[in-house]
A and B are shown apart, each in its own frame.
Chain A
Amino acid sequence: RALAAGPEMHFGFQTVTEAERREKIYQVFESVAKKYDVMNDSMTLGIHRVWKDILMHKMNPSPGTLLLDVAGGTGDIAFRFINYVRSVREHQLQRKLKHHQNLSWQEIFESYQKDKSNSLGDSQVVVCDINREMLKVGKQKAQHLGYSEGLSWVLGNAEELPFDDDKFDVYTIAFGIRNVTRIDLALQEAYRVLKPGGRFLCLEFSHVSNPLLSRLYDLYSFQVIPVLGEVIAGDWKSYQYLVESIRRFPPQEELKAMIEDAGFFKVDYENLNFGIVAIHSGFKL
């Protein structure tokens, strides 16, 4: 033990030191960043989009919400958040206008102009990721898709967040917590930066308990996904890691306990697609 560089951990099915694990995971995402979105669509047959939509509907953010999206890399959650609050805001404005029956056209026009410049209703999302390449891809996507207002990008570590205490209304981590080396620290940090009353939401691959489905899922994961990785991204190993890391990740109840250990209350989870994916939720009181 005296000669080891640190405690032994898993990288997929390999045993490595903590430092090695961080380095290897960084390299995986550096390698896949440019093909990340394409691979997500191929591997999940586009279903990951539905999972993320469900997460957003569960969050149901109102305009004015401050969201911290950790491991948010290429921006999928952030963009959905912006679309959602924008849409809610538009409905709010329409309802407001309907009540302005007795105002002159000039007054209505001015009121509309004022609200139009605040189309997000002061909502904000900060995307935090540890990987520069993933953030770069995210930022470029934002520019192409026309997202700029209410959106910021920060390179940071989920285990040691560069944000002040009690700041955010919602904290999300979608398909990211599996890659964190010290999940307990990340959960503690999540708790710290949330406001009292704030919500923690985690979308992550989980465990399928149904034996038949589990076998089919294993077959698909180990036979198809790395091949897709090689064909589409020229990178078998990274997708091998992905599949293995899913198997190594704690199942639903265990993750729930870890979230409770960090201080969250009313922790529960919702299985999607029989547990292939689960959304865990908790509140800071």
Chain B
Amino acid sequence: AHRRHRHREREQEQEQGREQGSGSARPQPPEPSLLRFLVCPLSKRPLRYEEATHELINEELGIAYPIIDGIPNMVPEAARMTRKKPPAEGSEQP
């Protein structure tokens, strides 16, 4: 049997849920804990979160994985090439 003591937490989470539920209205950055594990599926190298385009960028290979509805799409088919973009945007990332 599972005990559930989520009464207080539930209200907070439902509020968060309502915000996230609107999908593309206000994209949320991926959680830092997730970024710790996430790598490019092809090269297994680290990624950089680009806030402006809401993507995870592999600088080396010049590809960007989209984050759709708060879920990173980490499959090569979903990625796009970044080579043609000006490099200046990357510099302000934490």
Contacts and interface: CB of A to CB of B under 8 A. Distances in A.
Contacts of B13: 143, 146-149
Contacts of A126: 34, 37
Interface string B67-81: 011111111101000
A80 B4 CA distance: 12
A118 B9 CA distance: 12
Given A160-B42, A162-B39, A136 B69 contact: yes
A277 interface: no
A214 to B, nearest CB: 34
Interface stretch (A83-91, A197-205, A250-258): A83-91
Contacts of B14: 143, 146
A33 interface: no
A144 B13 CA distance: 9
A51 interface: no
A156 interface: yes
Contacts of B70: 139, 153
A157 B72 CA distance: 12
Interface string A244-274: 0000000000000000000000000000000
Interface residues of B, number: 36
B2 interface: yes
A119 B21 CA distance: 24
Nearest to A168: B37
Nearest to A155: B73
B9 A155 contact: no
Contacts of A80: 2
Contacts of B46: 164
Given A90-B5, A160-B41, A155 B71 contact: yes
A156 B82 CA distance: 20
A194 B44 CA distance: 14
A165 B16 contact: no
B2 A87 contact: yes
A132 B21 CA distance: 15
Contacts of B42: 160
A205 to B, nearest CB: 25
A154 interface: yes
Nearest to A53: B2
Contact of A152 (B9, B21, B31, B68): B31
A146 B9 contact: yes
Contacts of B37: 126, 163-164, 167-168
Contacts of B10: 146
Interface of A: 80, 83-84, 87, 90, 119, 124, 126, 130, 132, 135-136, 139-140, 143-144, 146-149, 152-157, 160-165, 167-168
Interface of B: 2-6, 9-10, 13-14, 16-17, 20-21, 30-31, 33-34, 37-42, 44, 46, 65, 68-76, 78
